[in-house]
């Protein structure tokens, strides 16, 4: 089954994209206001296939800037910074709308401009106006020609130059998305949803805790016999490892966003809790907010998202069994729908903490969409809502994309990027150590005498590194070494992640889910899973504990407070060699060749730990685990 990383689309930039390309500082050029980032980077002269036919359909979304975009960003920073006099002075959603939201006059002017251009307005909210029409009307509205471009073997239309809006609405328009029609779909890792995916089973043998079972007949690795991978950690083990103590998250609400919705989540989550020692769910403790209809079901692989929701819900409850959980599903894995899902959390103040296990590589980000995401994250910060995003499951992304890069939305300056570790919980639920999550895989030879191509090829690891597009945020100054922050050759940039938790599938979490069995029937089964899709909800659960310890006062955008704890006993400083320099670690894993049963045989492999592509977990801040993982005193450190 591998990793549970469900990736989605762009996000990023640390600031709103309201500037102009060349004219003046306000972005005005000949009576127009440039909308930066609306010409995608792939729309090059070399890829240009000529003008788009005027009758081609275009569906776009014009995001509204609101009253005071700079003021929103400034207050989001101040309200999140423990050193600020405004720290923790959150606003209610109605106050945010009154102070920073779009005015009726702005909406009216934007609507009139779009209609006058020949576009049809299909929807209006406090954050955006949606339109449809032909390419000719879109070109009139945004003063740019649409051309066809080749991208990844396909042809898509896109603006041939940066789009703009008239100066009469320059104060009202943040950006526009949809002028290019290249698919932007979250990858996981009729309107009726498909049945659950085919069953996946772990083969075993297993360890019940780290080091509990070792096969002395298998070849040695790094001077000793490696123990079997654990069956899957459960809530009691994770709570002990990350210092939960008496805290349960009571009085705190955690939101989870993914695409679609598992039809069996309530039953699966309660069954899992009962089987694995977690408290059963109170009435109303787990709820869902779902769209009226689903779209792009086939393209997004809708059934693949069921396991993601299951993992997220069960991991949060395992760590913070007293917290309420609200699942807010998106209509699809596309940016606009994911933004709507996040927007529901912010508009309704549905939760204090939001766990998100999706993302994409930074090269696929578009600044127009990034601006829309960041505006929403800032509004959340002002309300005291914190967003947590998985950092990715492909290390530095070179093996995956050929280019060293970070993932988005984790690279946004306004979210907490969660990296990953390999975790050893020993006998009696005792914390032993962690390495940065990054594995190399070597398969047992046919004669059983050695590990073929030891230590083997890179087999997945926590995402991390330095952004090429987002400047270093204030809370990373003085903590992130220049060797990382300035690695791109210019000024200091955003470095990922911020904090970390268990992610290695070989030291992963046990989940329970209804799946499609080999005979076609549905049945509940449990299996081990990992990825930073696990780390994000684990950290979200820990933050719920910390908020309870803080007497229920919202932590909000957590990065400034997290970095304030850097170098203290509140955090485990994770390295790739926790037992000492030169002492490498590994586990043995056995898998069914067909992922279901032994009919096609099994595959025994050695998974070396702490081998994350070109990334390294080192003493101090690093690009695999950030400032580290929650220690025994982390939750208690939030007590007033």
What domains, with CATH codes, occur in the chain? 28-177 (no CATH), 235-250+347-638 (3.40.50.200)
Radius of gyration of the chain (CA): 24
Paired tokens of 460: 């997945």
Any residues with CB less than 8 A from the CB of 597 and at least 6 apart, and which? 201, 518
pLDDT beyond 80 at 413: yes
How many alpha carbons fall within 13 Å on the CB side of residue 159?
27
Query: Per-residue pLDDT for 189 more than 60?
Result: no
Alpha helices in 168-323 (DSSP H): 235-241, 265-275, 297-300, 304-319
Nearest to 414 by CA among 485, 291, 498: 498
Closest CA to 586 of 225, 159, 89, 143: 225
The whole-number pLDDT of residue 367 equals 87
CB 501 within 8 A of CB 543: no
Contact criterion met (CB below 8 Å) for 502 and 390: no
Three-class SS state of 301: coil
- Give residue 110's pLDDT: 98
- Reported residue count of the chain is 640
Of 271, 258, 337, which Cα lies nearest the Cα of 304? 258
pLDDT of 155 higher than 90: yes
Residue 495 pLDDT level (bands cut at 50, 70, 90): very high
276 Cα distance to chain centroid: 27
Judged against a pLDDT cut of 80, whether residue 47 lies above it is answered with yes
424-461: per-residue pLDDT in tens? 999 999 999 999 999 999 999 999 999 999 999 999 99
Mean pLDDT on 598-620: 97
Q: Report whether pLDDT(23) > 60.
A: no
- Residue 402 CB partners (closer than 8 Å, separation 6+): none
Task: Write the CB contacts of 538 (distance below 8 Å, at least 6 apart in sequence).
Answer: 238, 242, 315, 319, 501, 502, 509
- The whole-model pTM stands at 0.93
- Is it the case that residue 191 has pLDDT exceeding 90? no
Query: Pick from 348, 388, 353: which is nearest to 96 by CA?
Result: 348
Residue indicated by tokens 């004669």: 447
pLDDT (0 to 100) of residue 429 = 97
> Considering only CA atoms, which of 261, 267, 253, 268 is closest in space to residue 329?
261
At residue 591, what are phi and psi to the nearest 5 degrees? -125, 145
**In the predicted model, what is the mean pLDDT of residues 246-253?**
98
pLDDT digits (tens, 9 = 90+) for 547-604: 999 999 999 999 999 999 999 999 999 999 999 998 999 999 999 999 999 999 999 9
Check residue 563 and give its pLDDT.
98
Q: Using an 8 Å Cβ cutoff, are 584 and 610 in contact?
A: yes
- What is residue 427's DSSP assignment? G
- Residue 139 pLDDT > 80, yes or no? yes
Q: Are 576 and 610 in contact (CB under 8 A)?
A: yes
* Cβ 227 vs Cβ 212: under 8 Å: yes
Beta bridge partners of 326: 255, 287
CA distances, 55 to each of 134, 155, 162, 183 (Å):
5, 16, 21, 20
Three-state DSSP at 621 gives coil
Sequence-ordered alpha helix ranges (H) in 360-452 = 367-383, 398-401
Mean pLDDT, range 368-390, rounded to an integer: 96
Query: What pLDDT score does 579 carry?
Result: 96
Least confident range of 19-28, 50-59, 219-228, 387-396: 19-28
Q: Is the pLDDT of residue 469 over 90?
A: yes
């Amino acid at each position: 089954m591998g990793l549970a990383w469900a990736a989605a689309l762009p996000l990023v930039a640390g600031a709103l994209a309201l500037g102009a390309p060349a004219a003046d500082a306000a972005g005005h050029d000949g009576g127009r206001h440039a909308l930066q980032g609306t010409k995608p980077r792939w729309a090059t002269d070399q890829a240009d296939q000529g003008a788009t036919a005027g009758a081609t359909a275009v569906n776009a979304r014009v995001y509204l800037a609101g009253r005071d975009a700079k003021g929103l960003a400034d207050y989001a920073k101040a309200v999140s910074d423990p050193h600020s006099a405004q720290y923790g002075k959150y606003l209610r959603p109605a106050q945010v709308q009154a102070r920073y939201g779009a005015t009726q006059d702005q909406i009216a002017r934007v609507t009139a401009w779009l209609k006058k251009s020949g576009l049809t307005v299909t929807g209006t909210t406090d954050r955006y106006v949606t339109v449809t029409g032909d390419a000719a009307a879109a070109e009139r509205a945004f003063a740019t020609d649409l051309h066809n471009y080749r991208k990844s073997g396909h042809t898509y239309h896109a603006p041939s130059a940066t789009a703009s809006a008239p100066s009469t609405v320059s104060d009202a328009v943040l950006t526009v998305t949809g002028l290019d029609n290249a698919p932007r779909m979250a990858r996981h890792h009729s309107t009726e949803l498909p049945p659950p995916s085919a069953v996946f089973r772990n083969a075993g043998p297993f360890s019940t805790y780290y080091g509990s079972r070792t096969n002395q007949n298998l070849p040695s690795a790094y001077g000793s016999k490696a123990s079997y991978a654990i069956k899957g950690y459960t809530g009691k083990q994770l709570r002990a490892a990350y210092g939960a103590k008496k805290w349960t998250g009571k009085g705190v609400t955690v939101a989870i966003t993914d695409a679609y919705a598992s039809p069996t989540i309530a039953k699966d989550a309660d069954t899992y809790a009962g089987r694995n020692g977690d408290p059963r769910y109170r009435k109303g403790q787990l709820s869902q907010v779902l769209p009226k209809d689903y779209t792009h079901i086939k393209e997004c692989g809708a059934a693949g998202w069921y396991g993601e929701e299951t993992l997220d819900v069960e991991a949060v409850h395992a760590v913070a069994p007293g917290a309420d959980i609200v699942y807010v599903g998106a209509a699809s894995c596309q940016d606009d729908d994911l933004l709507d899902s996040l927007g529901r959390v912010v508009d309704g103040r549905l939760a204090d903490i939001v766990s998100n296990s999706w993302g994409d590589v930074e090269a696929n980000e578009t600044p127009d969409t990034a601006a829309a995401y960041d505006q929403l994250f800032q509004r959340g910060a002002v309300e005291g809502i914190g967003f947590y995003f998985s950092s990715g499951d492909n290390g530095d992304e070179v093996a995956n994309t050929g280019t060293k890069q970070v993932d988005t939305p984790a690279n946004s300056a306004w979210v907490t990027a969660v990296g990953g570790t390999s975790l050893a919980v020993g006998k009696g639920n005792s914390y032993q150590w962690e390495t940065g999550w990054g594995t190399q895989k070597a398969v047992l030879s046919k004669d059983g005498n050695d590990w073929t191509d030891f230590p083997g090829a890179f087999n997945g690891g926590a995402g991390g590194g330095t952004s090429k597009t987002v400047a270093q945020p204030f809370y990373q100054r003085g903590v992130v070494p220049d060797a990382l922050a300035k690695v791109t050759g210019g000024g200091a940039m955003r470095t990922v992640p911020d904090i970390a938790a268990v992610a290695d599938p070989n030291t992963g979490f046990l989940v329970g889910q209804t799946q499609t069995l080999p005979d076609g029937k549905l049945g509940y089964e449990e299996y081990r899973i990992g990825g930073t899709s696990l780390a994000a909800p684990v950290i979200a659960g820990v933050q719920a504990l910390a908020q309870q310890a803080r007497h229920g006062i919202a932590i909000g955008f957590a990065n400034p407070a997290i970095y304030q704890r850097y170098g203290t006993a509140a955090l485990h400083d994770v390295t790739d060699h926790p037992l000492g320099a030169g002492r490498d670690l590994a586990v043995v894993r056995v898998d069914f060749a067909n992922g279901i049963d032994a009919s096609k045989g099994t595959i025994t492999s050695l998974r070396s730990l702490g081998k994350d592509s070109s990334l390294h977990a080192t003493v101090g801040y690093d690009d695999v685990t950030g400032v580290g993982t929650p220690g025994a005193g982390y939750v208690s450190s939030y007590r007033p």
